[in-house]
Chains A and B, each alone.
Chain A
Amino acid sequence: MNFREYLKNNIVVLDGGMGTLLQKKGLLPGEHPEAWNLSHPEEITEIHKAYYDAGSNVVNINTFGANPLKFSDSELQEIIKAAIQNADKARKLSNAPQEKFIALDIGPSGRLLKPFGDLDFEDAIEAFAKVVRIGVKYGVDLVTIETMNDCYETKAAVLAVKENCDLPFIVTNAYGLDGKLMTGAEPSAMVAMLEGLGADAIGANCSLGPAQLIAVAEDILSVSSTPVAIKPNAGLPKVENGKTVFDVTSDEFADIVAKMCEKGVRIVGGCCGTTPEYISKLCAKIKDIKPSEITDKNISCVSSYTHAVEFSDSPVLIGERINPTGKKRFKQALAEHDIDYILREGLNQQEKGVHILDVNVGLPEIDEPAMLKEAVCELQAIINLPLQIDTADFTAMENAMRAYNGKPMVNSVNGKQESMDAIFPLVKKYGGLVVALTLDENGIPDNVEGRIAIAKKIIAAAEKYGIPKKNLIFDTLAMTISADRNAAKVTLESLRKIRNELGCHTSLGVSNVSFGLPARDGVNSTFFTMALTNGLSAAIMNPYSAEMMKSYYSYKALSGLDENCSDYIEFSATIETTTVAKEQATSVKAPTADNESIASELQKAIIKGRKESALTLTRELIKTVKPLDIVENEIIPALDVVGKGFEAKTVYLPQLLMSAESAQASFEVIKENMQNSGEKQESKFNIVIATVKGDIHDIGKNIVKLLLQNYGFNVTDLGKDVPAEVISDKVCELDCPLCCLSALMTTTVPAMEETIKLLRKTAPGCKVMVGGAVLNKEYADMIGADLYAKDAMEAVRQALEL
């Protein structure tokens, strides 16, 4: 019988701890346990046999830390081969009667993935893939991915398995006392992602004892439509009379884990500190427990690397602002590769309370597959909302779905065969909840029946790919009522039928309905309310529209979805403050007649670091004063005052930065204005700035960048951990007279020196300025830099002198 068949009707028993047993047999601290497969095969076989004898159905071979980051390819090959042989020998030696399987064991790589660590996602996949390929070559029955404490690394390991074999795989994560993974994922987020990826079983192991894992197990059971696996530790280790003991006994362990089986857990075993005795007692306890049936929880959801967002009665808001359509400033940002602009648009929408961000970066002149992936990764570095990947380019879609950390929302598929053939295989491979548009080769039907027929066709096609309808969300297409007075009615009626008769969730791009009309906000928000009462589950909308947000909060309060109306009341307070802010803005407006007083007001706002006032004042000022005059006569003089204060030590770094941010807010208004009027901004010259290869510190670099931008330099930021070649290429491409490099660690200064050497060859005309905690003037001279800046103001001064 194979593992999948066995799992259908049985509770599966895994093995227990390996490391603690090896230590008892003499494994030294810091020694690789995996090397024992070759040096101590008898000991390893003995442990495996003891677990089979105790009743384990599955033993994990001793390959937890066997990966190419720790071993050479040939060592890895030998270790895994021997590990499988050791387990196979044990299986043959054991006379125990139960079904016995051998699992390839994959533990964490030991490195954190980018952006907060230095391991690239694709490199992680390749590292795990090497292990999987060797395991498959020498023959295992299944794969266990365990103890992963990061969502993204878990996904890398799963893709490595899926791309290299068809073996069943169990995925268990290490949850902390707060019930989350080390990098923040809740159980529901892990279940969403792993079910999307098609795991055979999902669960938790290690880090906690059985009692502390009960809550996590219950969380997983409540949302999982897949068998659940739990492998607790024998509590926590303690040292008693020079001996290591774990504080949960085998009897307590067996009691608690057996209770988990009664609640529905289908795969059980032990982790650190557990021994064959624990497994044997567990087997005795569960032998009469009937395996619980696996039921479909029928949850439609997407997830980020921290949490899942479920589509049910409470409407889900999807922010539509990351999209260049009709936005000149956004198009400029894309053309200039201004990622920060996109990130700010994301953060602002998050502050407005959206649940998901739509991400569309499609412009004819840009490389969409590269740009979309980059936007997704950069957004996920700082925003924990799930993303809706929005593109018509199938390559861009695959790149972004692959790199996405979690279960993405996919926008979109439609009834055209070409679309379904391209999108459904991606959803099957990477997981995802797909927006399905009710249109096909013949266009958008103008009647309800036509749209329902397409919806049915899409459901049937998805099913063929093994994608259940809970992972489809239908968009019945809001068309403008200015062209067809019945357009909204057909959309709403289709929506209602799909929700009620087909039992699927629905989504709409609400704003389209008013295209071509004046004062669109009112029409949009009324349409939104109408759609909600017809069963709309989610809306792609503009969260900056107060009317839309009012509709949303009112609907929730009126539909019994807002306990004590508390969300509504909290929201209403923000409307009031907006009004107050407006009044304040008007009050500053009063002295517009007198240009001089306003000018000094803006300078004061910048010097004091009042971002909001600087913004409002610039908006006012730009109505009467030329944008470049504002820069020349207001912003730069104000920055100079603060800069001088900083150098004289009367102003400290936080104040300098708050001023710089206020100046940046003013610049943003000026940029937008010039973009709209077509005026060209003259920048001083191009500068490339980067933190060198190997270093992941970038606070100092960001500060220098901000100040250089303030003073009108055109700064290209390559980020942190940047290879010398990438810096050199960019400097050559932009023909920069200046390149700024940062390093914080003594260990990364050599990378800085290397970068300078390369620049001397490729761009002899480019001056190099260096800075960072470990550097000083002498050190900078030694590695061949032209300039050294001890702080951001000095960097600006030196750049201005060039």
Chain B
Amino acid sequence: MNYTVLTESFSPPEIDKREIFRYMGVISSDNDTEKLTDLCLDEIKGSLKYNVCYCVTELEITNNTADFGCTSITSDSLSKALVNCERAVIFSATIGIEADRLIAKYGKLSPSKALCFQAIGAERIEALCDEFCNKIKSEYGSITPRFSPGYGDLPLSFQRDIFGILGCEKRIGLTLNESLIMSPTKSVTAIIGIK
């Protein structure tokens, strides 16, 4: 098996404002929230990056252990999520540090904007992951939903394995801190099964 780690930059996925409102805890948006969101979207425009690095691996599930060839992990929920798959994609994605900077800036200046940038960041990184998964789907056919460390009984410490395999620091500037939190924070690591 070839474990080459590939890096890819995506163009900005389409923005879904309703998702942004949802992340802000707004059920039916009003004029003020719309205005606030437009203002923030305008400020963040052009400063985000959409980078992914990933590796296609083999996959063998015995009992509740998923063996990717380059690493393996015992997790009931992950094994169930990847059932019937013979290959998997381990990936990490980030929209870069700028969202964190704006959240920090407005945390001091205007918490409503900080909340909004937080929501925009969440919507953007999810959109990037969707974009990436669509690409994998078009190349490999049917795939499972993405599964991240911390879901179910897949321990957060599996982050270290993912970072070791992908070299996210060097490839997309994504780092893992001592308490297993990622910086930039608007980032995702996940596994998808190829059916």
Contact = CB atoms under 8 A, between A and B. Distances in A.
B107 A698 contact: yes
Interface string A120-159: 0000000000000000000000000001011000000000
Contacts of B185: 696-697
B13 interface: no
A29 B55 contact: yes
Nearest to A242: B2
A344 B24 contact: no
A182 B97 contact: yes
Nearest to B96: A182
A176 B97 CA distance: 13
A237 B166 CA distance: 13
Contact of B36 (A654, A695, A751): A654
Interface stretch (A260-268, A388-396, A470-478, A740-748): A740-748
18 contacts: A30-B165, A111-B175, A112-B184, A118-B181, A237-B6, A243-B2, A343-B109, A347-B109, A382-B101, A654-B116, A657-B112, A658-B36, A660-B112, A694-B177, A694-B179, A696-B185, A699-B118, A748-B181
B136 to A, nearest CB: 14
B169 A748 contact: no
Given A150-B173, A654-B25, A748-B181, 17 more contacts: A28-B3, A110-B176, A116-B183, A116-B184, A147-B170, A177-B9, A239-B6, A343-B108, A382-B108, A608-B32, A653-B115, A654-B26, A654-B116, A658-B36, A697-B185, A702-B108, A745-B156
B25 to A, nearest CB: 5
**Range for the number of chain B residues in contact with chain A:** 35 or more
Contacts of B30: 655
Interface string A157-169: 0000000000000
Interface in B36-61: 36, 49, 55-56
A669 interface: no
B21 to A, nearest CB: 9
A649 B30 CA distance: 14
Closest 9 CB pairs of A and B: A182-B173, A694-B179, A30-B164, A657-B112, A382-B105, A118-B177, A29-B70, A117-B183, A112-B183
Contacts of B116: 654
A654 B101 CA distance: 19
Interface of B: 2-7, 9, 24-27, 30, 32-33, 36, 49, 55-56, 70-71, 96-98, 100-101, 103-105, 107-112, 114-116, 118, 150, 156, 161, 163-165, 169-170, 172-173, 175-181, 183-185
A382 B156 CA distance: 30
A29 B166 CA distance: 8
A699 B111 contact: yes
A184 B27 contact: no
Contacts of B163: 110
A324 B179 CA distance: 39
A110 B169 contact: yes
A382 B7 contact: no
Contacts, number: 169
Nearest to A348: B109
B156 A747 contact: yes
Contacts of A383: 105
Contact of B49 (A178, A238, A698, A745): A178
B175 A703 contact: no
B111 A706 contact: yes
B24 A696 contact: no
Given A112-B177, A344-B109, A652-B33, A28 B183 contact: no
Given A174-B170, A696-B181, A239 B150 contact: no
Contacts of B36: 654, 658
Contacts of A586: none
A116 B175 CA distance: 10
A28 B70 contact: yes
A131 B184 CA distance: 26
A652 B27 contact: yes
Contact of B107 (A147, A149, A655, A699): A699
Given A117-B183, A118-B183, A182-B173, A653 B24 contact: yes
Interface in A723-764: 745-748, 751
Contacts of B118: 699
A661 B111 contact: yes
Interface in A69-120: 107-108, 110-112, 115-119
A238 B6 contact: yes
Interface string A372-387: 0000000001110000
Contacts of A745: 156, 179-181
A237 to B, nearest CB: 5
Contacts of B27: 652
Given A30-B161, A655-B32, A115 B104 contact: yes
A695 B97 CA distance: 17
B175 A699 contact: no
A29 B101 CA distance: 32
A463 B107 CA distance: 45
Indicate the member of B36, B70, B118, B179 with the most A CB atoms within 10 Å.
B179
B159 to A, nearest CB: 10
A75 to B, nearest CB: 17
Interface in A216-262: 236-239, 242-244
Interface string A11-44: 0000000000000000011100000000000000
Contact of A654 (B4, B112, B176): B112
Contact of A703 (B96, B103, B115): B115
Interface in A683-713: 694-699, 702-703, 706
Contact of A609 (B112, B114, B179): B112
A183 interface: yes
A178 B98 CA distance: 14
B98 A184 contact: yes
A383 to B, nearest CB: 8
Nearest to B163: A110
A679 interface: no
A2 B157 CA distance: 47
A703 B33 contact: no
Contacts of A347: 105, 108-109
A540 interface: no
A160 B150 CA distance: 37
A177 B24 CA distance: 32
B108 A344 contact: yes
A446 interface: no
Interface string A331-362: 00000000010011001000000000000000
